[in-house]
Structure 1
């Protein structure tokens, strides 16, 4: 590894042993980075050098009207804020900085300023409570935090005596605030030039904690070069943005899906992005209309809910829509295509890999498939002995590329990385052309009377029924069959969850897929349990 710029070496010291790392493919032309780089400098200063200084970088809603912050203005805000981090907060390269805020200009500024100063950013979802924040703060040994003033309550509990007390957290500064010691107020008097920390390309700059769908969250450690790699592969080869594109969407910046799609990708392309809080399907469509957005990132559930509303809005600017975060049902892809005329760009990514590594767009899309390996990555389906399985055979997804899993001091590293391959935990079929067909999470494959049944496939069929708003399918124990299929269903208005509808849904599934896949049990719910990033909590369904 390159000599670190970090004075505080906790992050590098906490990397897994190198023999537990995945094999990293660093010879791709798009990711041949110099040994020393700062990703914030590459995203901002290089954009200005390329002539984008006066172009919009971030769009906000100010008093009900769109407001653009240019690249030059954004860089000045970032540089002034970086001075505050170093001068007032006394932070030094390698210190971990917890960030807490919704998708706003101020959150983006804080993120980029921390990267420029050589800090290790630990972003957190706005809805996390003190108990969850304590897990993150203690594990990453965080001493300082920047927090949107509206979200300080739970963080304050981490500084009080009691079960959620965090001994390492010694200072919290606020932003989106007009107090004398708020980040923006202090930054206003600072110079707009800042000498970025001379970080190594393999210095840790981000610890992204998983959303906890599979238990205790894991800290995924990413380097400065990883942030650029996520910008230079999926966007360059699949999304193909231009400086005229306007990005928008719903994933939080604290989620790597949002960090890439709503901040880093647009900046790397010299494009602009809309950062707004608390979007609903209706207000996201309104945002596309108001800001003339051309690229949208959100989860499958949002696309399904936007489809019947789209005719009420002028979304003629919209050209590309990206779905990730959870499996995209074929029925949702078709519903969105029929409503918008746009073929969805689906993708598999993950916090461990930082972003999307399997996808296809346009004419490359194949029915029922997620796509192929993004250039720079290699994927295969393997058996339990890590041997490749023949094309068309069910196996566990294995992936290599320029990014990969490096957990922060976590024994689960050895579960995710085997024989140099990352194992995201997905059961897939890969055909002879390299197209990947997602079946389920490997742990969520339902084995009933010897049959392998994909929960997402059953979900996709159920969602074609007019009564079904959304659903989740799991396997539950059964003495005779080992497991049987159980569906949890949220109904559209006007439908009643009774025995008659249960029988109708079961018959509907039998008519559309092999009859052995039908849900033998159906439970009607008012809402499905989801994480803040929109992922279905299947473990919560199993607990029900």
Structure 2
């Protein structure tokens, strides 16, 4: 592993550093696998991204787009500087202070995040649908001094603030020109701001997990972490270009969205389009065509729902499609490819690791596999004792790379990091050619009558039936078999969820998979429980 030259921290507020896990619980951080991972000891993430763009001659190229305005890289930097001036001059924030950000994907949210990090502050982005109780829990854990909030989302945050002793002020952004809003405050500044000279290992952000387990945690990432992530999957797999226009549904508050919808396009000198409307499958396809988007990020469910509209409207400029956040069924991959001719780039990442660490380029896809380990990382499939299992065997995924899990003040650190390896909580199989095949979350593996059944495999089979729109498969307690396979199915319009349909779907799965894998129980639902990022919340399906 590469030894690091540490630079004295510029963050005078040490709240986050003092609540990191003890060093013996840290993951091993490996910077030796790519020369690009040797990042300077003093490196401000945002300053570095803008400097890279300007050096490449992109100052006058579009960076942030909407249906109302397009900002070049130079325009965006000027606005980021002005917002940073407001934070540090008007509100006297000092490096290391936390700033909560609340908003959907918008230019205002993106500029706010960049300004916070450039000023040496710690960004705490939150999902726009969170309510006051959930925001209060984040405020209690992160102790932000200030919040930047979309003007349309103030109410719940104001309720949370009234119950908090630490959140001093809320600055609204977007849609307002009133006294006290960010647009007015920033307009009064001259745009001359010197980025905070942070150490690369100073903290840039706290990312709260999206809650598929029901208990969100705060993963902490440094400036070095995010810059290292830029040199791995974006450089080695995605390979975006300056003329790319990026669109997608993952929220900026989710690391998949933050990377794909802001950081990685900046690293490539590309631009991002943020819509003013809520995405539906048809609206996304129409916008992709209208805007001329070339890269799309979204979840498997959306690709499945978008396929028919893509076939109808066509998306001629689109060239790269990225899926992550949950398992990509092969049925969905083929449906999208048949509609567009585009091979989806699958990937598995984690909030705790910042972004994707297993993936493959469109030219290197193997059916059913997520891909190979991304250059810069190493991964293996192990047993419960951490010993690597034979190829073709199912075990737990373990990963080491330039990023890793550090929870803020959370006992679950011990579960995620063991002997320096990160354990994302996934069951995998690796074949002789180094491809990784996702099986299930560790706690989603169904053991029925002594047989192991992976829920995503059954889901993929069900999705191949023409009557099924969506489905989720879990194990349910059973006195005779220990567990039984149960499927929760959303049918397409015009289909009837009755005993005939149950038998039809059971026979369909039996014809595709080993008979012990078929769902002995099927329940029809109008919709499945999902997080804001599109991940299926199987823990909710398991509740009576």
TMscore range, shorter length: over 0.9
| Contact map agreement 1:486 1:522 (CA 8 A) in 2 | yes
Shift of 1:144: 1.0
- Once the 2 structures are TM-superposed, how far is the Cα of residue 272 of structure 1 from its aligned partner? 0.7
CA shift for structure 1 position 215: 2.5
Counterpart in the other structure of 1:331: 331
TM-score under structure 2 normalisation?
Answer: 0.97
Matched-pair contact (CA < 8 Å) for 2:42–2:198: yes
What whole-Å deviation, never above 9, does each CA across 1:313-356 have from its counterpart, x for those lacking one?
24100001000000001110111111110111000001000000
Match of 1:166 in 2: 164
Query: Does 1:125 find its partner at 2:112?
Result: no
Q: Residue in 2 aligned with 1:78? A: 80
Q: Decide whether the 8 Å contact of 1:45 with 1:75 is kept in 2.
A: no
Find the aligned partners of 1:311 and 1:428 in 2 and give their Cα distance: 33
- Whole-angstrom CA distance in 1 between matches of 2:356 and 2:274: 21
CA deviation string 1:4-62 (max 9, x = no partner) = 11010111111111110111101221211000010001112331122100100011111
Aligned residues: 536
Superposed, 1:407-486 pairs within 5 Å as 407-486=407-486
Aligned to 1:373: 373
In the other structure, the counterpart of 1:2 is 7
> SS where residue 43 of structure 2 aligns?
coil
Q: TM-score, normalised by structure 1?
A: 0.97
2: distance between equivalents of 1:178 and 1:68?
Answer: 19
Paired residues of 1:426 and 1:439 also in contact (CA < 8 A): yes
User: How large is the Cα RMSD of the aligned pairs?
Assistant: 0.9
| Residue of 100, 103, 108 corresponding to 1:101 | 103
Structure 2: unaligned runs, 5 residues or longer: 1-5
Q: Structure 1 unaligned runs (5+)? A: none
1:155 to 146, 154, 157: 157
Residues 68-467 of structure 1: pairs in structure 2 closer than 5 A = 68-160=70-162, 165-176=163-174, 177-277=176-276, 278-467=278-467
Distance in structure 2 (CA, Å) of the matches to 1:313 and 1:179: 41
**Correspondence for 1:35:** 41
Deviation at 1:367?
A: 1.1
By how many angstroms is 1:389 displaced? 0.5
Structure 1 position 167, deviation (Å) = 1.2
Q: Secondary structure at the match of 1:352?
A: helix
Per-residue CA distance 1:345-379 (angstroms, 9 max, x = gap): 00000100000000001221111100011000000
SS of 1:36's equivalent in the other structure is coil
Q: Is the 8 A contact 2:314 2:340 kept in 1?
A: no
Secondary structure of the 2:80 match is helix
User: CA contact under 8 A between 2:229 and 2:402: conserved in structure 1?
Assistant: no
Partner of 1:128, secondary structure, is coil
The match for 2:3 is none
Moved over 6 A (4+): none
Cα distance, 1:459 vs structure 2: 0.3
Asked if the contact 1:440–1:455 (Cα under 8 Å) also holds between the matched residues in 2, the reply is yes
SS of residue matched to 2:66: strand
